[in-house]
Amino acid sequence: MTRLWIKQPLAILSEGEASDGLVIEEGRIIEMLGAGQAPLTPCDEVFDAREHVVVPGLVNCHHHFYQTLTRAVPAALNKELFPWLQTLYPIWSGLSEEMIEVSSSLALAELLASGCTTAVDHHYVFSDALAQAIDVQVAVAQRLGIRVTLTRGSMSLGQDDGGLPPQSVVQSEAQIIDDSLRLIQHYHDAGAGAMTRIALAPCSPFSVSREIMRESAVLAEQYGVGLHTHLAETLDEEAFCLQQFGMRTVDYLASVGWLKKGSWLAHGIHFDDAEVQRLGAAGVGICHCPSSNMVLASGICRSLELEAAGCPLGLGVDGSASNDGSNMISEVRQAMLLQRLRYGAARVSHFDAWRWATAGGAAVLGREDIGAIAVGKQADLALFKLDEMRFSGSHDPLAALLLCGAQRADRVLVAGEWRVIDGAILGLDLPRLLHKHGRLARRLLAAS
């Protein structure tokens, strides 16, 4: 057993005083040290953190890894959600499993480098060439050593059925449910400290049938896994639900058995006051995706009202074709600024943004073992330095990381193991990955 002392950090975002740091053993935090305290038991390794701001590993609650291959596609620029999707769906239908492996590697590397230690991916494009897409992602996450919740997405309503996606990426209900069950049985770990979890994630009301939503809810209840989907992202989606189902989005959610704890929604923008209260009473989680919502001009999440009503609230970078980046620390800053625009500077502090990115994200995923620096929690930490020009003259370290725009972590621990040192991801040949990723991105676009 190796004990690691993170000693005397410049600042630490923790529960209680920990000015002399913390001690880690077997992947968990076993001691928090106040001023002048030393570890109860000698440590095998001591890391001098006097130049580092230490925060809990950031939790990314919504992403689409494959979209790193389609950033800033000319034909998709300057469009809102529905026309943007209709432009990109035909391109995404050409994805291969090699592209899934490389795009997932790049997305997870970008997340790790920005201080993220737990990431959700929502993969819903399943052509005949992508039967093993989630299996490929599991292998990538294991290789990089990052925690993941991989959500088995699905689309069953193609253009022929009144939906948006092309028929080539639509699956039958039997295919979707059978593969969902397979993935749960093969990969889902419900225990504390789990590195891989599975959730079920029909893509959206405009791309799956009501039957898939209902059957997914039943399967999730049976196996104790989460439920995830896009909901109330745009007014177009609200209009679709009214036209297709004769009800608004939250009524639709209730009608298919999703209005309950364990469900979490990407975006969650267009709710009225009564819907906010219903979601909160049910304990439904919300993932706020500020950059994506700004790029597509979708609207601004009602974060403070949703939290006050009882909804766990976390953050997500969303797809790298609607955000065009996978930088989690940048997303925390964006959330703080956008929510100040909604509520005013006095009502949203940097501590609110840190909460959404850590403990809030953990609560959205139903995890009590991550999201905070405290005894008994998993040793997932992001360590940032303030030695760049952007930080010169700053005084409050925790505020400076967001206000001055931190971009990269100097070190990252996941389950007590160093995964990033001096800004570099251990075991990753980044130039080789970038070369391959760029080549495949060009191939994908050329084939569309």
Q: Go through the domains of the chain in sequence order and give each one's CATH number.
A: 3-56+380-425 (2.30.40.10), 62-364 (3.20.20.140)
Statement: residue 17 has pLDDT above 80: no
Confidence of residue 159 (pLDDT cuts 50, 70, 90): confident
Statement: residue 16 has pLDDT above 90: no
Residue with tokens 């993170």: 6
Using the Cα atoms of residue 181, residue 117, residue 372 and residue 229 in order, give the sign of their dihedral.
negative
Least confident of 156-160, 356-360, 402-406, 412-416: 156-160
Least confident of 158-167, 286-295, 328-337, 364-373: 158-167
Determine phi and psi for 315, rounding to 5 degrees.
Answer: -125, 150
Q: What is the pLDDT of residues 181-197, one digit of tens each?
A: 999 999 999 999 999 99
Mean pLDDT, range 396-418, rounded to an integer: 98
Write down the pLDDT at residue 198.
98
Beta-carbon contacts of residue 17 (< 8 Å; ≥ 6 apart): 32, 34, 35
**CA–CA dist 279, 270 (Å, integer):** 12
Write down the pLDDT at residue 321.
86
Q: What is the pLDDT of residues 329-368, one digit of tens each?
A: 999 999 999 999 999 999 999 999 999 999 999 999 999 9
Do 22 and 38 meet the contact criterion of CB atoms below 8 Å apart? no
The mean pLDDT of the chain is 96
Confidence of residue 166 (pLDDT cuts 50, 70, 90): confident
Least confident of 43-47, 317-321, 338-342, 376-380: 317-321
Statement: residue 21 has pLDDT above 90: yes
Write down the pLDDT at residue 162.
79
Write down the pLDDT at residue 419.
98
Statement: residue 51 has pLDDT above 80: yes
Beta-ladder partners of 122: 151
Write down the pLDDT at residue 165.
84
Q: What is the pLDDT of residues 226-277, one digit of tens each?
A: 999 999 999 999 998 999 899 999 999 999 999 999 999 999 999 999 999 9
**CA–CA dist 113, 52 (Å, integer):** 15
Mean pLDDT, range 77-93, rounded to an integer: 94
Query: In the chain, what percentage of residues exceed pLDDT 70?
Result: 100
Statement: residue 160 has pLDDT above 90: no
Beta-carbon contacts of residue 119 (< 8 Å; ≥ 6 apart): 59, 60, 63, 107, 108, 111, 141, 146, 147, 148, 149
Statement: residue 18 has pLDDT above 90: no
Show the 3-state SS of the chain. CCEEEEECCCEECCCCCCCCEEEEECCEEEEEECCCCCCCCCCCEEEECCCEEEEECEEECCCCHHHHHHCCCHHHCCCCHHHHHHHHHHHHCCCCHHHHHHHHHHHHHHHHHCCEEEEEEEECCCCHHHCCHHHHHHHHHHHHCCEEEEEEEECCCCHHHCCCCCHHHCCCHHHHHHHHHHHHHHHCCCCCCCCEEEEEEECCCCCCCHHHHHHHHHHHHHHCCEEEEEECCCHHHHHHHHHHHCCCHHHHHHHCCCCCCCEEEEECCCCCHHHHHHHHHHCCEEEECHHHHHHCCCCCCCHHHHHHHCCCEEECCCCCCCCCCCCHHHHHHHHHHHHHHHHCHHHCCHHHHHHHHHHHHHHHCCCCCCCCCCCCCECCEEEEECCCHHHCCCCCHHHHHHHCCCCCCCEEEECCEEEEECCEECCCCHHHHHHHHHHHHHHHHHHC
b/e code 114-126 from CB counts within 10 Å (16+ = b): bbbbbbbbbbbbb
Q: What is the pLDDT of residues 297-316, one digit of tens each?
A: 999 999 999 999 999 999 99
Least confident of 155-159, 258-262, 387-391: 155-159
Statement: residue 1 has pLDDT above 80: no
Mean pLDDT, range 64-92, rounded to an integer: 95
Confidence of residue 163 (pLDDT cuts 50, 70, 90): confident
**CA–CA dist 345, 264 (Å, integer):** 27
Q: What is the pLDDT of residues 201-235, one digit of tens each?
A: 999 988 999 999 999 999 999 999 999 999 999 99
